[in-house]
Structure 1
Amino acid sequence: MNTARRPLLAAALSLAGAPLGLVPRSAGAQALSADSTGATLRLVERLLRLDEDGLDPRHYAIPDTALAAADAASYRLALHRAASLALMDLLGGRVRELPGRPDLRRDAAAVGMDRWLAELAATPDPAGVIERAALLPPGAAALKAELLAQKQIARRGQGATIPGDTTIDPGSVDATRIPALRARLSVEDPVLAAAPDAGARYDSVLEAAVRRWQALQGLEVDGRVGRISIGLLNRPLAARVDQVRVAMDMARARMAEPSERRIDVNVPDYTLRVVEEGRDLLTMAVIVGRRDRATPMLRVRMTALQFNPPWGVPERNAREDLLPRFRRDPQAMIDKGFRVFGMVDGQRQEIDPRTIDWASINPQRIPFFIRQDAGDFSALGRIKFIMPNNDDIYLHDTPDRHLFRRPDRAFSSGCIRLERPNDLMALLLDGMPGWDLARALRAIEARTTSAVSLRRQLPVLLRYDTVTVEAGGRVRIRPDIYELDAAYARAMAAARPMQVAAR
C-alpha cells in the first residue's frame, strides 16, 4: 500500500466510525470484525500485496479509501468481499480446472473453506488469516521467494536478447552476438556479472556461465549456444515469472495422490517414478512427445504387458515420418520389418512396398495401412505397457537408447519411451502367481507376440509440473515445452464474476 495513503485511510475510517463492526444483515454478509483502524490498514496493505502470492490484486476490487468516508457500510462490505474472494483463491486456487488437464485435481473439502471464511469474518487480525492461507500449500514459502527472484531477474533483463540463430561456439569472436549473450546471462548469473568483460570473445568464463545455465534448463551441457538455447534465452523472462505463479496456484488445495503403489510421469521433467506410501521404488528417464505431438496428461490404470509387440503405424506417423523413407528406399523399410497392406478386390491384402510408386502417393491420403513387425528394429522395442485410454498412449521399450543421454527428451510421437523397461516390468509382475522377471525375459526371447494381464493394475498419472521444490527448498524450473503453463497463466488472468459463497 502506498504509504502516503495510510493517513488518509486512517482519517477516513475515523470519520466513518472505526472500528468496522458488522454490516447490516440485509447486506447478506458479515463485515470484518476488526477492532481497530490498524487491523483494517494491515488488511488493505496485505490485499494490495497479493502479487507476492502470484495473484493480481486488481481481480478482487479492493475498495478505494475515499469510500470509507463517503459510505462506511459499503466500504466495510466491499473490503470483506475483497478479502473473502482473495482467501478463496489462496486456499482453493484461482484456476479450479482446465480442459485436458486431468492431472489438476482440487480437494475443496479438505481445505475447510467455510471454516476459513468464518474465521476471516470474526478475527481481529484478518491480514494474519490471509497470510496463513498464502503459506498453507507445501513449498509455498520457497515458491514465494522464487517468484520475487524471477521478478527481479525479469526487470533487470527486460529487452535483453541475442540476435541470429546460428550456433555460437566457445572460443569464437563476434562483436555483436557475444556481448549480447554475456549481457543476457549476466542478468541471472551473479558470477558472470562480477567477472571482467572479455568483449567480443567467447572466453572460458562465459562458457562456464553457459554450462551452468544449460544444466538449470535441462539442456545438453556442452557450452555451445545453438538454436534451442538461443530460443530459450530469447524467451521473455516474464514467462518464467508466470511459471512460478502457475506452480503456486496449482499447489493450492491440490488433491493428495493415493498412498498405494502408482506410476507417476512428470512429462516436462522427463522422469518416471514408481511411488508407494511416499517412497520412490523406481526412478528412470523417459522420452515424451515432441512439441508438435504432445503427450496428453492422463489418469489411467496399467492393465497388461505385451511382449514383442507389433506396431500399427498411426496415419500421422505414416504420412510425416514413413512416407519420405519409403520414397527413398523401400527395401530398407522392408529390412526394418515394415509391411504395407491395402484393399484389393474389397479385401485387405499385403502389398510389396517395392511395387508401389511412392512418389505419386498423396501424403494427405495414404491408401495403405502400415505395420512394423516385432523385432530388433521395432519402434516399440520388446515390451509394451498397456493402459487403455482414448488417446492410444502407452509406455514402451525403444531401440533408440542413445536418446536417453540427452537432458531434453521430447522426441516421441506422444507415447512414453522407457529407459529401463525391464525394471518396471519386474515391479509390475511382483506378486503375480506363476510370473517373475525370468519368465518374462523368456517370453521376450521367444520372439513371438504374447501378453499377460496384470493382477495388480497400478494407477498411472501423466502430469505437467515444470516448477518443483526440491529438498532444502531449492526451486527448479524446467522449460514449458507444451506451453501448458502459458495457458494456465492466461486462465489465471481471466476475469471471473466476483461472488462470495452464500453463508
Structure 2
Amino acid sequence: MRALLILPLLAATALVPPTGPALASGTDPTAMTAVNASQAAIQRLADRLARLEEDGLDPRHYAVPAPELAATDPAAYRAGTLRSAQAALSDLLLGRVNGLRGRVDLRRDPAAANLPAWTAELAAAAEPAQVIDRAADLPPDARAIKAVLAQYRAGVAAGGWPRITGDTRRTLEPGSTDAERVPQLRARLAATDRAVTDLTTPVYDEALLDAVKRFQASEGLETDGRVGTITWTALNVPIEAKLNQLRVALDMRRGQGPRQTERRIEVNVPFYRLQLLEGDRAVLDMAVIVGRRDRQTPMLNVRMTSVQFNPPWGVPERNAREDLLPRFQRNPAAMRAGGYRLFQRVEGESIEIDPETVDFSAYSRNNFPYFIRQDAGERNALGNIKFVMPNNDAIFMHDTPDRHLFTRGARAFSSGCIRLERPMELLSAALSGTSWDGAQVNRVLASRATRSAPLARSIPVRLFYSTVIVDGGQVIMRPDVYGLDADYARALDRATSQRVASAEGGATRGTGAR
C-alpha cells in the first residue's frame, strides 16, 4: 500500500483563549470540580486523550484510565481522566520538552500560555474534550502540520516506504540502465509521488528524471537529477524519522510568546536561509552557508554590534591543524600564495616564522606548534566584510570568496560561522542610521585597510533550528542535518514524571516530560 504525502495548508480558523466561568476571588482553578461534565462527556474526553498521537504526543504518557473503570468505579474514572487531561493540557500549551542542551533557540513563555485559565475551563467545561481540541490547535501552523502528520502516520501504518539497498556510493546518471537500483528508486519514489507508476523499467528515463527532480526539490537539494550520495541518503531516511520531525515541529511551536516586532535577523540553519525582519515582513532574504555536521553552527541569541571591512583571519586552531596543515603538506607554496602567515609563541610573544624554513611534513594534527593568520585580501576566507556579534562561541557572519557554493542545495560547508550570499545588502541595512554611505564603503574596501564601523543600533540575531515551516500554503520539510530533531524526539518520548495539578483538586503525579 502506498501512502501519498501531499502537504496542503488547511484553512485556519480563529482560536480564542478560554472563556470559562468567572472564578471567585482567591479560587485556585486547579482545585475546581468538573461538575458540568456528564459521564458521557468524560468518556468523550478519554477518547480524545487516546488520540493524542494526532498532536504528536504519546497517549501512554498520560495514564488515561482503562475504559472498564467507568463501569466499576465511575468517580475514580472521572477523576483519573481529568488528571490525565490536565497533564496533556499542560504539554499542549507549554510544550512537552524544555531545557535541551544547546537549544537556546527554543522559545517558551508560560505566562503567555495562561495555563491556570485553561485549567479552570477544563475543570468546569461541559465538554472538556473541546478544551483539549482548542489547545491542540493553538500553536502557529498546528492544523497544517497535523494534517501532514496524519498522512505520515498512515504511511507508517501501511509499512513505510521501501529502502534502497543497491550501491549508494555510485552516482546514478539520467539515461543510464541499472537493473538493481533503478527499480528500487522507482519503488521508493512511488511511495510519495503518485505520478510514478512504472516500477520495473531498469532505464533511468525522462519520467523518472522528473520524479527525481521533484524529490530533490522537496528536500532542498540541487535539482540536477543526478542521484549521488546526498540524494541516496535523503531517499533512505525512514518515514518514522520524517514523522518525528513533524512531531518536533508541533512541540517547538507550543508555549511561544507574542511575535517580536523589533527589526531583527533570523537564520534558520537547516533551511540555510537568513531573513532580516521588520515585524512579520522580510525586508531581506538570502541563502547562507552554515557549519558542517562535524563543526555545527550553534544556536544563538545575540546582537550584531559592528562590521569590519577587509578583516584578517585568525585561523582557529582546529582549522589550522585539520584543514590547512594537510594542504600545506601537499603544497608548501600554498601558504604564501593564500596570504597566510605563520606564528609561534616564544616566551609569551608571538614571533612570525618564515614558512620556507618549516618542514610541514614533520607535523600532524596532534603536533603543530604554530598558529596561522590570513591577511585581508581577495583570497581571505572571510571575504571583504565581517559582521560582529559578540558571543562565547566565536561565531560571526561574513563574506566569502567561495561564491559557487551558494548554488548548492545543501550548504553545510563552513566551520561554524555564517557565510552570506549577499553581504553588501546586509551591510547597507546594518549601517542605516550611521554616517557611512556607499562611496565611503567602496573607498575603504578598495584601500584593503582593516577598519571597523559600529552600528547606530545593535540588531538582535537569532540562529535557530527548524526543519519544518509552513509557507505559501504548503508544509515544507528539510533534512535534519545536525540530528537535533532526533535528539528532541527522544526527549519528547521520554516518560519522565512531573508534578501536575489535578482538575479534580489537589496535586498528583503525572507522566508528562519536561
Q: State whether TM-score is above 0.5.
A: yes
Q: State the Cα distance separating 1:48 from its structure 2 match.
A: 0.5
Q: State the Cα distance separating 1:153 from its structure 2 match.
A: 3.1
2:17 equivalent in structure 1: none
Q: Which runs of 5+ in 2 are unaligned?
A: 1-29, 508-514
Q: What amino acid is the match of 1:479?
A: P
Q: What amino acid is the match of 1:342?
A: Q
The answer to whether the Cα contact below 8 Å between 2:39 and 2:78 also exists between their aligned partners in 1 is no
1:389-408 matches, cutoff 5 A:
389-408=391-410
Query: Does residue 465 of the first structure (1) align with residue 469 of the second (2)?
Result: no
Residues 1:457 and 1:345: Cα distance change in structure 2 (over 3 Å)? closer
Give the distance between the partners of 1:344 and 1:470, measured in 2 at CA.
Answer: 56
Q: What amino acid is the match of 1:491?
A: A
Cα RMSD of the aligned pairs, angstroms, is 1.7
Q: Which runs of 5+ in 1 are unaligned?
A: 1-27
Give the distance between the partners of 1:78 and 1:377, measured in 2 at CA.
Answer: 68
1:184 equivalent in structure 2: 188
Residues 1:159 and 1:146: Cα distance change in structure 2 (over 3 Å)? closer
The answer to whether the Cα contact below 8 Å between 1:313 and 1:370 also exists between their aligned partners in 2 is yes
Query: Does residue 444 of the first structure (1) align with residue 448 of the second (2)?
Result: no
Q: State the Cα distance separating 1:74 from its structure 2 match.
A: 2.3
Query: Relative contact order: is structure 1 or structure 2 higher (C-alpha 8 Å, sep ≥ 6)?
Result: 2
**2:256 match: secondary structure:** coil
Give the distance between the partners of 1:498 and 1:451, measured in 2 at CA.
Answer: 51
Q: Deviations over 1:68-104 (max 9, x none)?
A: 3333332222111100011111111111331211110
Query: Does residue 146 of the first structure (1) align with residue 148 of the second (2)?
Result: yes
1:489 equivalent in structure 2: 489
Task: Choose the corresponding residue for 1:303, options 291, 305, 308.
Answer: 305
Give the distance between the partners of 1:130 and 1:78, measured in 2 at CA.
Answer: 16
The answer to whether the Cα contact below 8 Å between 1:157 and 1:187 also exists between their aligned partners in 2 is no
Residues 1:345 and 1:431: Cα distance change in structure 2 (over 3 Å)? closer
1:58-457 matches, cutoff 5 A:
58-156=60-158, 158=160, 160-163=162-165, 164-165=167-168, 166-192=170-196, 195-344=197-346, 347-432=349-434, 434-457=435-458
The TM-score normalised by the length of structure 1 is 0.91
**1:33 match: secondary structure:** coil
Q: State the Cα distance separating 1:315 from its structure 2 match.
A: 1.0
Give the distance between the partners of 1:106 and 1:317, measured in 2 at CA.
Answer: 36
Alignment length (residue pairs): 473
Q: What amino acid is the match of 1:191?
A: A
The answer to whether the Cα contact below 8 Å between 2:266 and 2:276 also exists between their aligned partners in 1 is yes
The answer to whether the Cα contact below 8 Å between 1:386 and 1:394 also exists between their aligned partners in 2 is yes
**1:63 match: secondary structure:** coil
Q: State the Cα distance separating 1:297 from its structure 2 match.
A: 0.3
The answer to whether the Cα contact below 8 Å between 2:186 and 2:200 also exists between their aligned partners in 1 is no
1:45 equivalent in structure 2: 47
Give the distance between the partners of 2:70 and 2:385, measured in 1 at CA.
Answer: 69
Moved over 6 A (4+): none
Residues 1:153 and 1:115: Cα distance change in structure 2 (over 3 Å)? same
Identity across matched positions, percent: 54
The TM-score normalised by the length of structure 2 is 0.89
Q: Deviations over 1:113-162 (max 9, x none)?
A: 00000000001000110001111111111011010112233444536111
The answer to whether the Cα contact below 8 Å between 1:60 and 1:86 also exists between their aligned partners in 2 is yes
Q: What amino acid is the match of 1:441?
A: N
Q: State the Cα distance separating 1:235 from its structure 2 match.
A: 1.5
More helix by share: 1
Give the distance between the partners of 2:253 and 2:41, measured in 1 at CA.
Answer: 29
The answer to whether the Cα contact below 8 Å between 1:311 and 1:371 also exists between their aligned partners in 2 is yes
Q: State the Cα distance separating 1:316 from its structure 2 match.
A: 0.8
**2:495 match: secondary structure:** coil
Give the distance between the partners of 2:156 and 2:179, measured in 1 at CA.
Answer: 25
**2:133 match: secondary structure:** helix
Q: State the Cα distance separating 1:109 from its structure 2 match.
A: 0.7
**1:456 match: secondary structure:** strand
Give the distance between the partners of 2:198 and 2:260, measured in 1 at CA.
Answer: 53
Moved more, 398-407 or 155-164: 155-164
Q: State the Cα distance separating 1:329 from its structure 2 match.
A: 1.4
Give the distance between the partners of 2:268 and 2:439, measured in 1 at CA.
Answer: 30
Give the distance between the partners of 1:437 and 1:257, measured in 2 at CA.
Answer: 33
Q: Deviations over 1:376-415 (max 9, x none)?
A: 0000000000000000000000000011111111110000
Give the distance between the partners of 1:315 and 1:126, measured in 2 at CA.
Answer: 59
Q: Deviations over 1:22-50 (max 9, x none)?
A: xxxxxx84443344232122111111000
2:479 equivalent in structure 1: 479
Q: What amino acid is the match of 1:481?
A: V
1:19 equivalent in structure 2: none
Q: State the Cα distance separating 1:346 from its structure 2 match.
A: 5.7
Moved more, 93-102 or 294-303: 93-102
